[in-house]
Structure 1
Amino acid sequence: MPSFPRTGGGRLARAVAPVLGFGLLIAAWQGGHHAYGPLVLPSPLETLRALGSLVTSGVAAQAALETARHALGGFAVAAVIGVGAGGLAGLWPFVGRMIDPLARLFLGIPSIAWVVLSLIWFAGTGLAPLFTVVVATVPVVIAGALQGTRTLDPDLAAMARAFRAPLAVRVADLYGPHMLSYLFPALMTAMGLAWKVAVMAEVLGGSPGIGEGLALARVNLETADALAWVALTVLLLLGVQGLILIPLHRALEPWRHVAPLGPESGS
């Protein structure tokens, strides 16, 4: 049976796979458009035109800034609280046992419930989307941080204490690097959830932002505009992940992004 060279095949596959995935999505989208019509599902081209109209009119930029303020502000607060709680749990197991049931409790509360409560508590203040993002995402970050501290080899921690390593050294060289393996997936999940919850709170609360544009598109039955707002949200999320979280992950854990040796790497 003939064999074919695989040199560079891994790189090619990694480059082609995302394009193929998006191509299949666009094809299915176009097929749905032909099946159900523009009122139910506008075509990708119609959605792109609607998005272009929102961008050129300046409406998209203003709404994106408001939603980004809600999503990124809430995410930043949740990240600080979650990482801090996880670090404390690693240093003092009693704190971890105290925080764990609270994190599980908050994870079980639906995001829509927090939206409704925040609209009651913060009506007229504009804080509802920000508060909803914080309470919806902080349990995700705490759960990841707790998992990272709990899976640390206790012998390593005991050895660090036996050699009287300073607290700063233990945090920077022991707890921190180990937590990163569990923390970054949690942060990526929390980032995606932050944008969803922010838009949801804006839709229901009438707050300025992408959610307000979605609500207006629903009232006017402008499905193309609604999909354009959704596309804008996804593009913003991918942009923030690609410009902030992924480069930060590469900087803190560069060894995870080194190409493996073998036929796929061209060796």
Structure 2
Amino acid sequence: MRASISRAPFALAASRTAGRFGGFLWSAWVGMAGLSLIGALWQVGHEAFGDFILPAPMAVLAAMIDLLGRPEAWGIAGRTTVRAIQGLALGLAVGGVSGFVAGYSPALMRLTRPILTVMLGVPPIAWIVMTMIWFGSSDATVTVTVVVAAAPLLFIGAAEGVTGRDRRLDDMARAFGAGPVTRLATIGLRQMMTSLFPALTMATGTAFKVAVMAELLTNTGGVGGALADARTMLDVRQALAWVLISVSALLAVEYGLIHPIRSHLERWRDAARQWGVKR
């Protein structure tokens, strides 16, 4: 009897997690509809401009499948993905943490705003040139460029999440005897996530774009290096196939890692939604 009672909370938590995962998979139909719309517009562009300018989407998809049948293509895509994730993680550690701290300090927030404006105003190509001078053609060039591009976005997301929090919830928790650590973990961080996750989604896309751009310019392999080879051979179909592989890796990271974590941490949003309504 006691064993069954002790297992009940775990079974309930597992069923809830499975339910959220099933709802997440079901909502993927909307994303598939959006991708189908992109494919339809792509087909219209192919019929308008011809195969040399814009190959047919099915031909590019076939080229991508052919590339994925080669073991070296997985290594190329994996190298770009690892670089993008490394830069994104470091950008989250630098930008997210510093933005969280700045959100609690109005003076620090005012001090960092001009710095953020300068960092956002400098184009990624300029950072690539600088990192090439500092680190040469290496993995560090790609990773540091991604960090510099992603950190300001994550800083803004974390800082805005903290400054826009509902302070009355914090006062209520203090009145019920919750300590600073408990209030931070249960109220402060959760409210910050509502602004941080949209910024993290933008930073993820930026990380992959900047990583591919840096690889192309620094000739350090990865998808960017494969794009450079396709450019040399004027193979538009091959280039677009590598673009699809890069976008597929981005979607795998975003919808396979970021969105499930967001869905788990923002379970409280479901309580404010009517049955069956998904915003």
| Separation of aligned partners in 1, 2:37 and 2:168 | 49
Q: Offset at 1:232?
A: 0.5
Aligned pairs for 1:1-267 within 5 A: 17-154=30-167, 166-257=179-270, 260-261=273-274
Secondary structure at the aligned position of 1:216 is classed as helix
Give me the TM-score of the superposition, normalised by structure 2: 0.82
| Separation of aligned partners in 1, 2:235 and 2:154 | 37
Larger proportion of helix: 2
| Aligned residues of 1:90 and 1:175 also touching (Cα < 8 A) | no
- 2:69 aligned partner, one-letter code: T
| Aligned residues of 1:202 and 1:211 also touching (Cα < 8 A) | yes
- 2:260 aligned partner, one-letter code: P
- 1:184 aligned partner, one-letter code: F
| Aligned residues of 2:87 and 2:144 also touching (Cα < 8 A) | yes
C-alpha distance after superposition, 1:161-212 (max 9, x if no partner): 7888543223212321111110100001101100000000001110110000
5+ residue gaps, structure 2, are 1-25
Q: Offset at 1:259?
A: 8.8
Q: Offset at 1:149?
A: 1.3
Shift of the 257–48 alpha-carbon distance from structure 1 to 2, 3 Å rule, reads farther
Secondary structure at the aligned position of 2:139 is classed as coil
Match of 2:22 in 1: none
Moved more, 116-125 or 131-140: 116-125
Q: Offset at 1:114?
A: 1.1
| Aligned residues of 1:250 and 1:257 also touching (Cα < 8 A) | no
Give me the TM-score of the superposition, normalised by structure 1: 0.85
| Aligned residues of 1:100 and 1:146 also touching (Cα < 8 A) | no
C-alpha distance after superposition, 1:90-124 (max 9, x if no partner): 34333333333322221121112111211222113
Shift of the 174–219 alpha-carbon distance from structure 1 to 2, 3 Å rule, reads same
| Separation of aligned partners in 1, 2:174 and 2:114 | 28
Identity %: 38
| Aligned residues of 1:119 and 1:205 also touching (Cα < 8 A) | yes
| Separation of aligned partners in 1, 2:176 and 2:140 | 48
Secondary structure at the aligned position of 1:127 is classed as helix
Q: Offset at 1:156?
A: 5.0
| Separation of aligned partners in 2, 1:14 and 1:166 | 38
Bigger RCO (CA 8 Å, 6+ sep): 1
Q: Offset at 1:19?
A: 4.2
Shift of the 36–49 alpha-carbon distance from structure 1 to 2, 3 Å rule, reads same
5+ residue gaps, structure 1, are 1-12
| Aligned residues of 1:71 and 1:130 also touching (Cα < 8 A) | yes
- 1:147 aligned partner, one-letter code: E
Query: Aligned-residue CA RMSD in angstroms?
Result: 2.5
Q: Offset at 1:68?
A: 1.0
